[in-house]
Amino acid sequence: MHLLSLFPALQVRNYRIFWMTQWIALIGFWLQLTAQQWLVYTMTDSAFLLGLLAACQFAPSLFFTLFTGLWIDKHNKRKILLGTQLFYLLQASLLGLLLWTGHETYGWILFFAFFIGTIDSFDMPARMAFMPELVGKKALHSAISLNSANFNITRMAGPLLAAFLLKYLSYSTIFFMNALSLIPIIFAYSRMDVNSVITTMEERHPLHEIREGLMQAKNNPLIYKNLIAAGIVSGLILNMGTYGPLFADRVLHAGIDGFGSILFAAGAGSMVSGLLAGASRNHLSHGMIFGSAILCGLLLMAVSFVPYFIPALILFGLLGFFVIAFIVNCNTVIQMASPKEFLGRIMGLYTFVFLGSAPFGSLLVSAIIEGVGTSLGLCLVGALEIALLLLFARPVKEKKALIHS
């Protein structure tokens, strides 16, 4: 009971079921993602093609999330999430089958990256809009924080497990394991007793309704400033799948084990940050959220020229800590400032910005690294992130912004 009292969201039975089954699904996710990134790197030995893989996975967020956010507002979010898990299972199974039969090509891998990105464009905004229904607004910050802690604990274990298993198992087996890992969360969603909030609105043209959601975000500086910051950090800092293998191989000379260690270190820092936030009902001020984003850029600049294994891992751990401090509190502030009838659309907009910036960020980061080298490239990326934050995402007074929402 002490654990339940420490973390407010865990006091909600449905959330406990969701949180525990997510462990298994997320381990499978990291197994597949790590294996896929390393497969492409070994196939191509190209920073640009590795960046293009990430771009294909995140591109659907640019195309679909504004529309999926509106669709989510009008439908049962639990059923949507049940459907997305079934499609994730299908994607992993088909990709595993492709490799098992020996028909894998770079083009096919890009196709399946786009496929999973399309599922993400429904799953991510629906899951964020579902959280207030699952736990209520009082425990929302705790739930978002625990989700991040869960994600990053598995990010520590998954890549290391993938690096170990790939010495003995085929890539196809790893993808089939991911498909199996989704069965518990599918069962959990099917049995969860949650009355989903469905917005009833008079039938109007979808573009008009999407515009209403955009205007809600635009008219609240607390929402749009945090959205801008989320896009900058996501596009330039969170593309660890693009620059992580390159840094591990070209700077640390540690191969896939080094890549797994980098993700482990970043995940450890993220886990600590998420657990600390999960025990709190309160989010950081906008100024402190902005400061966390600035520190992310400074830490990427600091690690860029560190060729020593342990110091680099320490810096990646600190980077993971402040990345999650930023993401959890940025997400919480946006959800708390959003009217519930627009939450699906604003979470769709958040996903549009957060994931939609990743394709451009992946290509930009990989192009910079190809042009000037890994170390100097990462230093420039960190400096660019800080400059963009200072230009476009300076903090606003939170109370004033909430009054105008």
CA-based nearest residue to 404, from 354, 339, 346, 325? 339
Number of other residues whose CB lies within 10 A of the CB of residue 79: 13
Could you give the percent of the chain with pLDDT greater than 90? 36
Measured distance CA(374)–CA(354) in Å, rounded: 24
Better-scored residue on pLDDT, 114 or 157? 114
Tell whether the model's pLDDT for residue 385 goes beyond 60.
Answer: yes
Check: CB of residue 82 under 8 Å from CB of residue 162. no
| AA letter at 353 | V
Contacts of residue 88, defined as CB under 8 A and 6 or more positions apart, other chains included, come to: 116, 119, 123, 182
Answer yes or no: are the C-beta atoms of 135 and 142 closer than 8 Å: yes
- Are 267 and 30 in contact by the 8 Å Cβ rule? The answer is no
In 3D space, the residue among 322, 33, 320, 20 whose CA is nearest the CA of residue 150 turns out to be 20
pLDDT at 177: 95
Return the percentage of the chain with pLDDT > 70, whole number: 92
Q: Is 344 exposed, middle or buried, given 0-12, 13-18 or 19+ CB atoms closer than 10 A?
A: buried
Average pLDDT over residues 94-111: 91
DSSP 285: P
Confidence of residue 6 (pLDDT cuts 50, 70, 90): confident
pLDDT for residue 403 is more than 50: no
Q: Tell me what pLDDT residue 398 has.
A: 57
Is the confidence at residue 202, as pLDDT, over 90?
no
Weakest mean pLDDT among 133-137, 324-328, 373-377: 133-137
Closest C-alpha among 55, 51, 56 to residue 370: 51
Cα distances (Å, whole numbers) of residue 191 to 10, 127, 139, 217, 242:
18, 16, 22, 34, 38
* Mean pLDDT score across all residues of the chain: 86
Of the ranges 11-15, 143-147, 271-275, 302-306, the best mean pLDDT one:
302-306
Q: Which range (189-193, 222-226, 233-237, 358-362) has the least confidence?
A: 358-362
Q: Is the pLDDT of residue 173 over 50?
A: yes
Q: 44-80 pLDDT, tens per residue?
A: 888 788 878 878 888 888 788 888 888 888 888 899 9
Q: Which domains does the chain have, with CATH numbers?
A: 2-404 (1.20.1250.20)
What is the 8-class DSSP label of residue 329? H
Instruction: Report the pLDDT averaged over residues 79-101.
Output: 94
Mean pLDDT is highest, among 4-18, 29-43, 174-188, 282-296, for 174-188
What's the Cα-to-Cα distance from 368 to each of 56, 227, 236, 293, rounded to whole Å? 19, 25, 11, 21
Q: Is the pLDDT of residue 167 over 50?
A: yes
Cα–Cα distances in angstroms (integers) from residue 216 to residues 111, 334, 342, 343, 355, in the given order: 35, 11, 8, 10, 20
pLDDT at 4: 63
Mean pLDDT, residues 82-99 taken together = 95
Residue 286 pLDDT grade (very low, low, confident, very high; cuts 50, 70, 90): confident
Give ∠ CA 18-317-9 in degrees, rounded to 5: 25
**pTM score of the predicted model:** 0.76
- Token pair belonging to 113: 């990256």
Q: How far apart are CA 60 and CA 113, in angstroms?
A: 10
Per-residue pLDDT at 204: 63
User: Residue 94's pLDDT is what?
Assistant: 95
Write out pLDDT tens, residues 230-282: 999 999 998 887 899 889 999 999 987 898 889 888 888 888 888 887 777 66
CA 96 to chain centroid, in Å, comes to 23
Residue 26 has pLDDT above 60, yes or no: yes
pLDDT of residue 195: 65
337 pLDDT exceeds 90?
A: no
How many whole angstroms separate alpha carbon 53 and alpha carbon 326?
A: 26
- pLDDT tens for residues 364-373? 998 999 899 9
Helix segments in 237-308, DSSP class H: 240-246, 255-278, 286-303
State the pLDDT at residue 85: 96
Q: What confidence score (pLDDT) does residue 196 get? A: 61
10 versus 184: which is more confidently predicted? 184
Q: What is the mean pLDDT of residues 212-224?
A: 87
- Any residues with CB less than 8 A from the CB of 233 and at least 6 apart, and which? 293, 296, 323, 326, 327, 385
pLDDT of 402 higher than 50: no
Residues 323, 327, 333, 336: is their CA dihedral positive or negative?
Answer: negative
Size (the chain), residues: 405
